[in-house]
A and B are shown apart, each in its own frame.
Chain A
Amino acid sequence: MKCWKCSVLVVLSGALALNSWSLAAESAATPRSIIEKVMQDVLAVLRDTKLTKPEKNEKVRSIAFQTMDFEVLARLALGAYWRNLSDDQHKEFVAEFRKHVAATYGHTVDEYTDEDINVVGDREEVRGDWTVQTRIMGMKEGKKQEVAKVDYRLRQKDQQWKIIDVTIDGVSLMANFRAQFKDIMENGGYDRLIKMLKDKNADSGK
């Protein structure tokens, strides 16, 4: 009898412990909380006066790499063209694409002038993705004014939420790439696209 109660207690407490651990893990890892943390981390880097611009660039880039799912983003941006490419081409494309996005958004770090970023809402999308809404606030004539609306769309893969799209003032990053890639794929195909990406990355490297 004693053993039975013990084992029940052990099992129960184990279950409770597991549950609260996973609950804690879950509540810590909601899409909204992830974006809040990313924003805090990025702002901390941008406001750190002890870092040089290249160092800030590097740090923000590594935060972005951890939180964004470039493969999904690249796949969605290519749309139906993805299926007609080989695995090698997939790898090559994702690598170049990631370099390009990192270079582009790395440079926006250079433009930072003490704006604030506030997370203002989140909502679930039909597919199970989540959209987290943020606002960039800047000062104008002594008054805080909204500079831009930035929405992040996150998708869960292997229990982890990652950003698969960023929408600024209604313009989706992924859709914009998609529009560009469609144009290029129809006029030159994959070879032209990968060449343009590589050339672009070579230029940004200078």
Chain B
Amino acid sequence: MRILTQCLVCIFGGILMIGALGGCANDPKNIDPWEKTNRFFYSFNDNLDHYALKPLADGYVKIIPKPVRTCIGNGYDNLQYGDVILNDFLQGQWQQGWSDAGRMGVNTTVGIAGIFDVATRWNLPSHDNDFGMTLGKWGADAGPYLVLPLFGPSCVRDAPDIGVGILTNPVTWIDPPWYVTIPLFALQAVDSRSRLDREVRFRDQAAIDPYAFTRHAYLEYRRAKISGSEAPANQDMYEDESGPTTAPATQPSTQPATAPATQTQPVAPRSPTTSNNK
């Protein structure tokens, strides 16, 4: 029950914040009003990753054979799939919602608690959906950029999904004791980190300023996912060649309709630590 209360507070608190901050979110200079705190947590996540998560993930990859790791990953994906189903329906995506419900059903039963991904072979492919996308489709702006400890890049609109994710996770309702949930969560963090290694290495190579890189790629990736458009929102940035008068302060973020923030590459809101790239 404590968890339930905490989740609800998280979700509704988030929604309230979006409402309150909706005004300033449209100011292009304000995509990152909490930059100082964000940079602190970015650093914190970086260190956590470097000293704890990555070594654990590397060990995990070395010791556990790939088929077993795949099963573990499938199991966790399945436990979290309730979030996808809920948000399919909240967004009115009935067909996808039923397909996803079927997927979770099939994988939980035939796939033995989700460890075998049988559903994909049965034409019930996996989809991506979350509460941040729902809020976005309902018209919410991204709100200020956030770097959450452990969870990594996020924003005021996307953060409440963490609470929704917990609420829709069957494990929450079974309510196991702490010495079960903590190892479960730790293993999930390590497993997710091992699956994201390619993306993290890409960020490490590509980024000259990792914080700005991550912020831009995250926000842009989310904007594209929510709007469904694959084109960059700001077409003006292609104009500079003839040397016109764009002022230095032009961040490619001033989109009239959608969220002003721009962020790194594909990020699953619940993945651990720094950049979650896909």
Q: From known contacts A76-B238, A80-B240, A83-B243, infer whether A167 and B230 are also in contact, taking CB-CB under 8 Å.
A: yes
Let me know if B252 and A178 touch, CB within 8 A. Answer: yes
Distance between B231 CB and nearest chain A CB, rounded to angstroms: 7
For the complex, count residues of B whose C-beta is within 8 A of A.
48
Main secondary structure of the interface of B (DSSP, over half): loop
B213 partner residues in chain A, CB cutoff 8 A: 176, 179-180
Let me know if A170 and B251 touch, CB within 8 A. Answer: no
Name the CB-closest residue of B to A106: B205
Q: Which B residues contact A (CB, under 8 angstroms)?
A: 117, 120-121, 123, 125, 198, 201-202, 205-209, 211-213, 215-217, 220-221, 223-225, 229-232, 234-235, 237-241, 243, 245-248, 250-252, 262, 264-266, 278
Let me know if A167 and B240 touch, CB within 8 A. Answer: no
Question: Which one of A10-18, A24-32, A46-54, A145-153 is at the B interface?
Answer: A145-153
Q: From known contacts A170-B223, A171-B220, infer whether A145 and B205 are also in contact, taking CB-CB under 8 Å.
A: no
Q: Which residues 55-107 of A sit at the B interface, judged by CB distance below 8 A? A: 72, 75-76, 79-83, 100, 103-104, 107
Let me know if B237 and A178 touch, CB within 8 A. Answer: yes
Q: Does A205 contact B (CB under 8 A)?
A: no
Report the contact-size class of chain A (Cβ under 8 Å from the partner): 35 or more
A81 partner residues in chain B, CB cutoff 8 A: 248
Let me know if B232 and A175 touch, CB within 8 A. Answer: yes
**In the complex, what distance in Å separates the CA atom of A107 from the CA atom of B229?**
28
Q: Which residues 185-204 of A sit at the B interface, judged by CB distance below 8 A? A: 185-186, 193, 196-197, 200, 204
B225 partner residues in chain A, CB cutoff 8 A: 169-170
Q: Does A114 contact B (CB under 8 A)?
A: no
**In the complex, what distance in Å separates the CA atom of A138 from the CA atom of B104?**
22
Which residue from B198, B208, B211, B232 sits with its C-beta under 8 Å from A170? B232
Q: Does A168 contact B (CB under 8 A)?
A: yes
Q: From known contacts A83-B243, A182-B251, infer whether A153 and B238 are also in contact, taking CB-CB under 8 Å.
A: yes
Interface string of A147-165 (1 = CB under 8 A from B): 0110101000000000011
Let me know if A141 and B121 touch, CB within 8 A. Answer: yes
A122 partner residues in chain B, CB cutoff 8 A: none
- Which of B232, B239, B250: most chain A Cβ within 10 A? B232
Let me know if A179 and B215 touch, CB within 8 A. Answer: yes
- Which of A83, A178, A184: most chain B Cβ within 10 A? A178
Cβ-closest 8 pairs across A and B: A170-B224, A179-B216, A172-B232, A141-B120, A183-B212, A180-B209, A180-B212, A104-B206
Let me know if B240 and A185 touch, CB within 8 A. Answer: no
A148 partner residues in chain B, CB cutoff 8 A: 278
- The 10 listed contacts between A and B (C-beta, < 8 Å) are A125-B238, A127-B239, A141-B117, A141-B120, A151-B231, A169-B265, A171-B221, A176-B220, A176-B264, A182-B251
A193 partner residues in chain B, CB cutoff 8 A: 208
Name the CB-closest residue of B to A84: B248
Which residue from A104, A176, A182, A200 sits with its C-beta under 8 Å from B217? A176
**In the complex, what distance in Å separates the CA atom of A178 from the CA atom of B220?**
13
**In the complex, what distance in Å separates the CA atom of A127 from the CA atom of B239?**
8
Q: Does A129 contact B (CB under 8 A)?
A: yes
